[in-house]
Amino acid sequence: MAFYNIFSNKKEKKEKLSIIIDYREKNSLVVSELMKLGFKIQFEQLPVADYLIDNTAIERKTLSDFKSSIINKRIVQQLLEIKQYPQHLLILEGLESEDPYSGAIHENAFRGFLLSVALEYKTPIIFTLNEKDTAKYLYVMAKKKKKVEYAIRSAKIILSEKERLQFILEGFPGIGPSTAKKLLNEYKTIKQISNAPLGDLEKFIGKKAILLYKFFNYAYL
Pick the CATH number of 2-155 from 3.30.70.100, 3.40.50.1370, 3.40.50.10130, 3.40.640.10: 3.40.50.10130
Query: Is the pTM above the cut of 0.75?
Result: no
Average pLDDT of the chain is: 86
CA distance 203 to 205: 6
Q: What is the CATH number of domain 159-216?
A: 1.10.150.20
Instruction: Map out the domains of the chain as residue ranges.
Output: 2-155, 159-216
Of residues 101, 112, 93, the one with CA closest to residue 50: 93
Of residues 16, 107, 95, the one with CA closest to residue 61: 95
pLDDT number for residue 14: 56
Which of 3-12, 22-31, 127-136, 159-168 is predicted least confidently? 3-12
